Amino acid sequence: MNVKTSTLPKRYHEAVLRWKDVFLPDYDFLLENWDKHFPNDPEFQLCAYRELGMCSEIECGDLKGKPKAQKAGDLLPEQAHHLFGAIRAQASTEFGSIQQHRLTLARAQEEEEQFWILRMMAEELRHGYQMLHLLVEDDWSSVSKESASDLIEDVLSMNTGSHLLGAFNIDFDSFVDNVVFCALIDRVGKYQLAMQKISAYKPMAESMPQMLREEAFHLAAGVVPMRRWVTAAARGETFVTMEVLQKAINKWLPRGLEMFGDERGGGTNVRFGLKPMKNSEAQAQFYQEVEKLVRDLNLRYLRARIADLTHAGSETALDRVLAGETVEGIRCEDLLYVPAMEFFRRRGVPSFRLAGAQGETFATVPEYLQHLVRTLPEAYRASRDFKDYVEALTAVQEGRMTAEQAAGRMPALRRVAGACPCSKSVRWMVDDPVVVSAPQLARPVTGQPVA
């Protein structure tokens, strides 16, 4: 494996560091404790990685077999336009994820789980850095009317509520969101990175292997705590119940499905050799993978509830429960399920339908809203995001707006926390060094993060 590392030009690198000081103030604390929590892993570096020696020919689409583009100028105009948008959106999601996770990072009950999320945030910072590196090391003037400085300023000025994908505009309500987000939304990220590994733009393809290695840890930071929680719930602990986990899954899975794009699209990316699958194909594989995750969690729940239950026995018992039997007092409603693909959707083919979490249909908006009361987290229902959704849903169902028009308004892009819509007002890049005052997570005198 031949890996090349590089950094952004000094001005842009320092802009990312200033952003890091504001939104990831525990970065240095993570590095100070890296060997304690991750003794077998190389220490984290904020840089761009490029894996050399990868395939040099386009691997799918109409241009299959032709040399991959080394520069943006070698791409077809429409090809460059699609790729530029994907890189910019990817950068937005990486920085957006950090802004979400920081809200509830200090609420973890276990120090280990908190450090897992903190490491994940640092690696998301590096992923965003990698995308910015792609934007500034090449000349994208053929598809972008912005300078490199303005591109970076624009991405770094985005905040929760103004990112390019809806999943990154939703506030976290508890540490359960941190974990379930990793298990589901980072799983979408894994699919996107794996598809982009064959990109017809060689610098993009070379950027993916290290990101995929790091993304595997992000998934573990979600899946492992969920496994612990269902086992504890089966034994009667009440910290994170199966109902709490189910509602969090219901909150995030619809947003994850939408991250693949409209189910009818994606053919252009395949034709141009930028991805190997259309949106619906990748979305279906992701959904099947979530089904396997949920089945694994249910099997662990059964083995924790029923003494001496073997792995093979738990498979049989689970199928019986899912078929409607009660086994050792365990009913189907005691277990987790994967919400229907049409449930709570605001983009794509099923957007703004009155579709229930388990495939039910509802005749009126009030009936559907009562269903959402039963299936979504209470704290989330008090959010602006949910209010915006309800208003759009009502307008669609009353015929005042089409589903496409409503989807265009979700989320309503807006700057928050006092930043105006003009990215120049943020000014992450400055000519002279400045001192950025950043709030730090409160820590006990032991030097450990707040549990």
Question: Which pLDDT tens digit goes with each residue over 198-243?
Answer: 999 999 999 999 999 999 999 999 999 999 999 999 999 989 999 9
Average pLDDT (352-370) is 97
Q: The domain 2-339: what is its CATH number? A: 1.10.620.20
Count of C-beta atoms within a 10 Å radius of residue 134? 23
Residue of 144 and 399 predicted with greater confidence: 399
Average pLDDT (369-379) is 98
Q: Tell me the residue type at 361.
A: T
What pLDDT, on the 0 to 100 scale, is given for residue 145? 84
What pLDDT, on the 0 to 100 scale, is given for residue 1? 72
Q: Burial code of 242-278, b = ≥16 C-beta within 10 A, e = fewer?
A: bebbbbbbbbbbbbbbbbbbbbeebeebbbbbbbbbb
What pLDDT, on the 0 to 100 scale, is given for residue 431? 57
Rounded CA-CA distance 53/171 in Å is 41
Rounded CA-CA distance 299/192 in Å is 29
Interval 95-116: pLDDT, tens: 999 999 999 999 999 999 999 9
What pLDDT, on the 0 to 100 scale, is given for residue 427? 73
What pLDDT, on the 0 to 100 scale, is given for residue 376? 98
The percent of residues above 70 in pLDDT, for the chain, comes to 91
In the predicted model, is pLDDT for residue 414 greater than 60?
A: no
Average pLDDT (250-270) is 95
Q: Which residues pair with 361 in a beta bridge?
A: 355
Interval 133-192: pLDDT, tens: 999 999 998 898 888 999 999 999 988 877 877 788 899 999 999 999 999 999 999 999
Count of C-beta atoms within a 10 Å radius of residue 41? 11
What pLDDT, on the 0 to 100 scale, is given for residue 409? 80
In the predicted model, is pLDDT for residue 436 greater than 50?
A: no
Going from N- to C-terminal start, the domains of the chain cover: 2-339, 350-410
Rounded CA-CA distance 142/295 in Å is 48
What pLDDT, on the 0 to 100 scale, is given for residue 447? 36
**Does residue 406 contact residue 346 with C-beta atoms inside 8 Å?**
yes
Average pLDDT of the chain, as a whole number: 91
Ramachandran bin of 348, using left for φ above 0, alpha for ψ from -120 to 50, beta for the remaining angles = left
What pLDDT, on the 0 to 100 scale, is given for residue 440? 45
Average pLDDT (360-388) is 96
User: Vertex 341, ends 338 and 346: CA angle to 5°?
Assistant: 125
Rounded CA-CA distance 103/153 in Å is 23
Average pLDDT (32-38) is 97
Interval 11-23: pLDDT, tens: 999 999 999 999 9
Residue of 168 and 289 predicted with greater confidence: 289
What pLDDT, on the 0 to 100 scale, is given for residue 439? 41
Q: In sequence order, what are the residues at sequence separation of 6 or more whose Cβ sits closer than 8 angstroms to the Cβ of residue 434?
A: 18
